[in-house]
Structure 1
Amino acid sequence: MTEPIDGAALLNEVEAFHRRFNAFPSHAAYVATVLWDAHTHLLDCFDSTPRLAFLSPEPGSGKTRALEVSSTLVPRPMHAVNASPAALFRAVADETGRPVILFDEIDTVFGAKAKDANEDLRGLLNAGHRRSGVSYRCVADGQGNQSVVPFPSYCAVALAGLGTLPDTILARSIVIRMRRRARTERVEPYRARIHEKEGNELRDQLAQWSEQVSEKVDGAWPEMPEGITDRPADVWEPLLAVADAAGGQWPERARAACVELVTAVDEDDRASLGVKLLTDLRDHVFPGEAAVSTVEILHLLNAMEDAPWGDLDGRPLTARGLSRMLGEYVNGKGKRIRSRTIRIGGQPTKGYHVEDLADAWARYCPAPPGPGLQESVTPVTTPLTPMLTSDDEVTVEGGCNRNGAVAPAPATTAP
């Protein structure tokens, strides 16, 4: 009978191995990476697998080294810098020899220059997050006939690259924001011919330990930290299950790392471009206003320094682009959000009304940054009450306010 392995002690050794060669930005990053390494040996115990993303703004930040070290610790590592989607489909579909994909330089695949050229790969990475995920492809039989074949897509993936990732992949990822080492930070030089063997010895121990705890981990429902729900909970569930199986300080450390890394992911990274637009309209354009002209909306959005609107693929947001993006959402009446005619100082102009946006704000946007702001934007029956003359036109009495929208008419007092 095989002697039981102390899971907590083993994970400590794996962490120490990473710390020899990797200068991660936080303790939470080490915890997440170690648990991710371990979870690759227990993949069939989970309903999903998180992507581990090492991202940085500049080269030379240790992303490739992080993948190299992890490659010594996971089963059947497959380095996929230049792998074609077809090769990956075939490799992942082999469930008996399913690899762990380590994808370096991912920015060359999903960066601005690639445009939409790699949608097949994006689909594979998205579908493979779930154990039930499959990718359908047409396969020829050599005689001119083709049939639709489902390729299993479930596999563990670690990514490294500059910048960010597509929203759909980012939402399925544990993000480690890498940075260049400071002069005071020291790591041991990594030499594959020497240190790969050391990592493989730990890998074999992880494989043996995973066999011992697989029944305990399979079907486990780890308790999530307060406030971790929905997609983040889905992403972290396998790692917390591994930590609980290891015991020691790992359950506590894992939950602390979960909260820290989920919180560190900026809302702008998680949200789609449409949600960013809705949120910026709510927080920076419409507070205190009942209606704002399209011209003024574009002026305010394009002037925001920390927003993408002034440079969307080299061009600022236009009225047509604004209309297209908002038209993807519906108002409280189930109709697409669109501009209406607003009369400002008696002159007609196109613009948007708060009551058309309020329902989308409530459904898609994160909570406002403060109670004061929330109170200022949530009421749709503000003192700036318009007289609706049709579905397409809004007439508001009064003068112009700071947005070129509409100010309330002067109040009258009964004699």
Structure 2
Amino acid sequence: MSDTLHDERAGAAPTAHGPEDAKAACPASQSNPEQPTTPDVMQTEPASIDGAELLDRIHTFTCRFICYPTEHASISHVLWIAHAHLMDAWFTTPRLAVLSPEKGSGKTRVLEIAAMLVPNALLSSNASPAYILRKISNQDDRPTILYDEIDTILGPAARGNEDLRGMVNSGYRRGAMVGRCYMNKGKVVPEELETFAAVALGGLGHLPDTIMSRSVIIRMRKRADGEKAEPLQPRIHEPEADILRNELAAWASSIVDLAKIAQPVMPDCITDRNADVWGPLFAVADLAGGAWPDAARKAATDAVLSSKMDERPSPGIQLLADIRNCFGNADRITTADLLDKLLADEEAPWGDMRGKKLDPRKLAEILRDYGIRSSTIRMPSGQTPKGYKREAFHDAWKRYLPAPPAGTTSATSNTEHPNPVETGLGSMLEA
């Protein structure tokens, strides 16, 4: 990937070209004005390794063995691998959730390739939470956890394992601890164990929302006719991966001080928890330079917008959305008419809520949580039945049903996703 591939159209931010200008360029990382710059940071020499070129080679390597669902997924995978080498720089570390609806979609291969490139990899599908916790608690020899078949423990069909779920959730932030007790000479001794570590999870279907919200998500799928991947032969390919991993470790060591003070500029749609998730990956991309800063932000925007489209709303959010449709352009609606319209949609859940139809009492109960109450309304006919005024919903609609950004398109609108290695990271990076 060439450094000259960036599109600097009107409104596009200039690009960083590596650690020497990563603090000055936008969207490259910015120094924290409230944090004094230490002499060590000031004296950090630019990396002798070309970060962009190194990430390019890692990207080419991963694409040999993985048929990614999208170009953005391949970018996210490479950046997540690189971020695992800089764990001392981050306050939060995104989980990598590699999911698919069916077996044989390449989830395990994604984790296997990552295990060859991340530091101190611990790849497992049956390690106990206690074992993983003890390994992570040794922060001086912190492993990178790659846990396959996680759906058998945390998926919809599993009973769940609260110890593992709690560890994955809490270990997303630096300084998180879990409390345990052990026996010492007949006495119960409490101890606190650190849980901060990079974690990748592979499985079928979905994971708990608390984990999904902390994750960079790659949704794998079965290969279509014509999609080919090189068979992975560890005896042949591990030495290649070792060279890349060692180079990545050396590059990470040379930029760690800059990564610690990085403040990546976020796209408008990347806020709150999403900013925590994508911030470290943006910092890696900015410090690498070349086409990576722009590619990282496009990948994040694609992922976040796709995630919002795929989210299954809570019953309350769905009710607010359906009521907005029922109102149309009217400024008021009777409770009876509103219920008739809601129940007319056979695909909506309102006709069967635990065996009962939505009624005025249940409707009022759900809406009350959003500060919305019915009132006596005057209709054009002069009647004054119970109903709802449109203005009562304005605040809730604004807060819980944000309008999609103007000019954005669905990340799933394109049905064809060529293998990124065949397109040189694709048109996304060559615009």
Equivalent residue in structure 1 for 2:113, among 69, 93, 96: 69
Deviations 1:118-147 (Å, cap 9, x if unpaired)?
222222211111113222x33022455435
* Residue 368 (structure 1) shift: 7.0
Per-residue deviation, 1:279: 4.1
User: What does 1:13-412 align with in structure 2 at a 5 Å threshold?
Assistant: 13-115=57-159, 117-135=160-178, 137-269=179-311, 273-274=314-315, 276-287=317-328, 288=330, 290-293=333-336, 296=340, 299-300=343-344, 303-304=346-347, 319=358, 326=366, 329-331=369-371, 358-367=394-403
Shift of 1:327: 7.2
Secondary structure at the aligned position of 1:79 is classed as strand
**Distance of 1:148 and 1:55 partners within structure 2:** 37
- Where 1:224 maps in the other structure, the secondary structure is coil
Residues of 2 paired with 1:78 and 1:96: CA distance? 15
Q: Deviations 1:237-266 (Å, cap 9, x if unpaired)?
A: 101110111112211222222222222223
Gap regions ≥5 residues in structure 2: 1-44, 407-431
What's the RMSD between the two structures over aligned residues?
Answer: 3.6
Q: 1:369 to 1:260 in 2, by over 3 A?
A: closer
Give the partner amino acid of 1:99: P
> Contact 2:58/2:78 (CA < 8 Å) preserved in 1?
yes
Spell out, residue by residue over 1:332-365, the C-alpha distance to the aligned partner (whole angstroms, 9 max, x if none).
6xxxx7x8999999xxx99987666554333333
Count of aligned pairs between the two proteins: 357
- Tell me: CA distance 1:350–1:53, structure 2 relative to 1, closer, same or farther (3 Å): farther
CA deviations on 1:261-317 (whole Å, 9 max, x unpaired) are 222223342x6525543443344445445343596476356x22xx677899xx667
Aligned-residue sequence identity (percent) comes to 44
Mapped contact 1:239–1:254 kept (Cα < 8 A): yes
Partner of 2:145: helix, strand, or coil?
strand
The structure having more radius of gyration, on CA atoms, is 1
CA contact (8 A) 1:275 1:365 kept: no
CA contact (8 A) 2:285 2:292 kept: yes
- On the 8 A contact 1:100/1:155 being kept in 2, the answer is yes
Q: For the Cα contact (< 8 Å) 1:107–1:165, is it kept in 2? A: yes
Change (3 A) 1:3 1:131: closer
**How far apart are 1:209 and its partner, in Å?**
0.8
Letter of the 1:47 partner, please give it. F
Superimposed CA distance per residue, residues 173-205 of structure 1 (whole angstroms, 9 cap, x where no aligned partner): 111121111111111011223222321221111
Cα 1:324–1:95 shift into 2, 3 Å: farther
SS in 2 for 1:70: helix
- Deviation of 1:56 after TM superposition, in Å, equals 1.5
Mapped to 2, the partners of 1:256 and 1:3 lie a distance apart of: 25
Change (3 A) 1:341 1:2: closer
Q: Do the aligned partners of 2:52 and 2:289 also contact (CA within 8 Å) in 1? A: yes
> How far did 1:318 drift?
5.6
Query: CA offset at residue 24 of structure 1?
Result: 0.3
TM-score of the two chains, using structure 2 as the length reference: 0.72
CA distance in 1, matches of 2:109, 2:273: 28
Q: What's the offset of the Cα at 1:73?
A: 0.4
The answer to whether the Cα contact below 8 Å between 2:97 and 2:217 also exists between their aligned partners in 1 is yes
Measure how far apart 1:2 and its partner are.
12
TM-score by length of 1: 0.74
For 1:144 and 1:245, how far apart are their aligned partners in 2?
A: 53
2:48 is matched with which residue?
A: 4
Tell me if structure 1 keeps the 8 A contact 2:106–2:220: yes
More off after superposition, 237-246 vs 48-57: 48-57
**CA offset at residue 78 of structure 1?**
1.4
Note closer, same or farther for the CA distance 1:295–1:263 as it changes in structure 2 (3 Å cut).
closer
Distance 1:83 1:292 in 2: 54
Whole-angstrom distance in 1 between the partners of 2:365 and 2:66: 42
Closer/same/farther in 2, CA of residues 359 and 34 from structure 1, 3 Å limit: same
Q: Aligned partners of 1:228 and 1:250: how far apart in 2?
A: 17
Separation (CA, whole Å) in 2 of partners of 1:25 and 1:278: 33
Which deviates more, 272-281 or 200-209?
272-281
State the Cα distance separating 1:8 from its structure 2 match: 1.1
After TM superposition, give the deviation of residue 232 of structure 1 in Å: 1.8
**Structure 1 counterpart SS, 2:146:** strand
Kept in 2: contact 1:46–1:131 (CA 8 A):
yes
Residue aligned with 2:84, SS: helix
> Structure 1 unaligned runs (5+)?
371-415
TM-aligned CA distance change 1:97 to 1:292, over 3 Å: farther
